[in-house]
Amino acid sequence: MAASIARATSSALTSRTSAPTHAASRGVRAASRGVHAMRLRDIILAHALSRGDGDANADDARPSRASSSGSSASSSTTGATIPADLDRATQAEMEALYPRAKEAYYDGAPLIDDVYFDALEAKLMFLNSDAVKKYPRCSVRGKAVYSDCVTDEAQMRALQTSYAVILAVGAAFIFFDFGDDVRALLSLIFSLPDGPRLRIPIMGLIGIGLASRGVEKLRSVKSGETLAMTGECPACHEQVYSFLSVRGAQGKSRTECHCCARKIVFETQFEKRESSPWKVVGKGRIYLVSERSDYESS
């Protein structure tokens, strides 16, 4: 009996002491759930804020790119106009753009790409512009000394004048020689006194040959079949020129300098252009032909 009372008393005491322990454990579990919930909520909130910040940063970045592009466009428009089509651009526009494009390239902020710059430089060289004029130089890789050559407008006009003079001389021979024969023929038909004697028009025949040759050469010059190129001699820097036949996109002529007698080669690229009086323009290089004395020590 006493033993049963003792067990009942101990079980009651155990239940009383275990009740707060279970309650405390439940409180700990609830608190941990609350902490996890708060952490999850904080993570979701932080993720949302990060997305919002990212969007905000992206929105902030877009105006900056737009402003930078706008500033570059404004700088290009205020500094130099970039023509969309070089074929329609004037020489003044291209000459204004060329030095600014070079400066921008050396500054590390190019205005145009390499393909556009090469096309711009080629157009200015075809126009014989002073903006792209370069002096004789050498290539270490190719071991060649060369200079630039452009269309020689003065020689083309002189050539055209020479052919026109030949045509005029031939026409004069035809007029005067055949004129005497025509007058002699008329005097025979109408029995006119003191008329010139009929003879073989030798000078007139020569005049026909000269006139036909002059017309043929004038037509070849005006149609762009012949083009004069000029540049500095790579050896003595004197002005030299040569006439090249335009039979394709490229031409080559071997000659020698009239000052230093060094052999040189004109290598030219041709471009058809209706605005030119010769219907074609050219650009290229004058190469110095190497000699044995160039490699011998003095």
pLDDT tens figures, 176-199: 878 777 777 777 676 666 666 666
Under 8 Å between Cβ of 226 and 220: yes
CA dist 123 and 132 (Å) reads 10
In this predicted structure, the answer to whether residue 268 has a pLDDT above a threshold of 60 is: yes
Note the pLDDT of residue 226: 92
In a domain, 245, yes or no: yes
The answer to whether 207 and 174 are in contact (CB under 8 A) is: yes
Residue at 46 is within a domain: no
- The number of folded domains in the chain is 2
How confident is the model at residue 175, as a pLDDT? 84
Domain that holds residue 284: 153-294
- 255 in the same domain as 186: yes
Query: Which one is predicted more confidently, 137 or 28?
Result: 137
Phi/psi of residue 202, each to 5°? Answer: -65, -45
> Containing H/E element for 198?
none
Partners of 18 in the beta sheet?
none
**Residue 157 and residue 257 share a domain:** yes
pLDDT of residue 269: 92
90: pLDDT strictly greater than 90: no
- Evaluate whether residue 93 is within a structural domain: yes
Residue 129 has pLDDT above 90, yes or no: no
Q: What is the DSSP string of 1-24?
A: -HHHHHHHHHHHHHHHHHHHHHHH
CB-facing half-sphere around the CA of 114: CA atoms within 13 A = 0
pLDDT-based confidence at residue 79 (cuts at 50, 70, 90): low
pLDDT of residue 217: 93
pLDDT grade for 72, boundaries at 50, 70 and 90: very low
Q: What is the pLDDT, as a whole number, of residue 227?
A: 94
Q: Report residue 16 CA to chain centroid gap.
A: 98
Same-domain status, 113 and 196: no
Whether the predicted model's global pTM rises above the 0.85 cut: no
Is residue 73's pLDDT more than 50? no
Which is nearest to 214 in space by CA: 177, 152, 171?
171
| 221, amino acid identity | V
Is the pLDDT at 25 greater than 50? The verdict is no
Q: How do the residues of the chain divide into helix, strand and coil, expressed in percent and rounded to 5?
A: 60, 15, 25
| 90 against 158, higher pLDDT | 158
**Is the pLDDT assigned to residue 9 strictly greater than 80?**
no
Phi, psi values for residue 138, rounded to 5°: -130, 155
88 with 190, same domain? no
Question: Is the same domain home to 104 and 201?
Answer: no
pLDDT at 271 over 50: yes
Q: Is residue 62 scored above 50 in pLDDT?
A: no
In a domain? residue 47: no
Judgement on whether residues 257 and 205 belong to the same structural domain of the protein: yes
pLDDT range class, residue 80, cuts 50, 70, 90: low
Tell me how far apart the alpha carbons of residues 79 and 117 are, in angstroms, rounded to a whole number. Answer: 16
Q: Which residues contact 33 (CB under 8 A, 6 or more apart)?
A: none
In a domain, 70, yes or no: no
Clarify whether residues 163 and 233 are in a common domain. Answer: yes
List CB contacts of 127: < 8 A, sequence separation 6 or more: 91, 94, 281
CB 203 within 8 A of CB 193: no
